[in-house]
Amino acid sequence: MKTSFTQLSLIIVLGLSFLLFLNINSNLQAQVDYPRLANYYLEWSLSDEEALNLAKWDLLILDMEVQENSPEAILKIRNYNPNIKILA
């Protein structure tokens, strides 16, 4: 009788611990804040149409030449999406 009570108690404690772990783990995943969409675009210059299409990304990685060849395109991307992260 005492052995089955101990086993039952152990199973209940392990089950509750597992459920608590799942709940804590799901809350941690929901609070992660990072760019979910990224684009690695290596053209040397950008047109207005390309700037509009590239503005939809959370993170945009551009060739360093874009800074010199199309600075107005980078400003347009920033105007279309003020929250974008641009690496150039």
State the pLDDT at residue 23: 57
Mark whether 57 and 22 lie in a shared domain. Answer: no
State the pLDDT at residue 67: 92
Question: In a 3-state reduction of DSSP, which class is residue 1?
Answer: coil
**12-33: pLDDT as tens digits:** 877 766 666 655 544 444 454 5
The encoded tokens of residue 59 equal 């993170």
Mark whether 43 and 58 lie in a shared domain. Answer: yes
Mark whether 61 and 80 lie in a shared domain. Answer: yes
Tell me how far apart the alpha carbons of residues 74 and 88 are, in angstroms, rounded to a whole number.
9
Mark whether 52 and 67 lie in a shared domain. Answer: yes
pTM of the model: 0.59
Domain of residue 8 covers 1-33
Mark whether 47 and 82 lie in a shared domain. Answer: yes
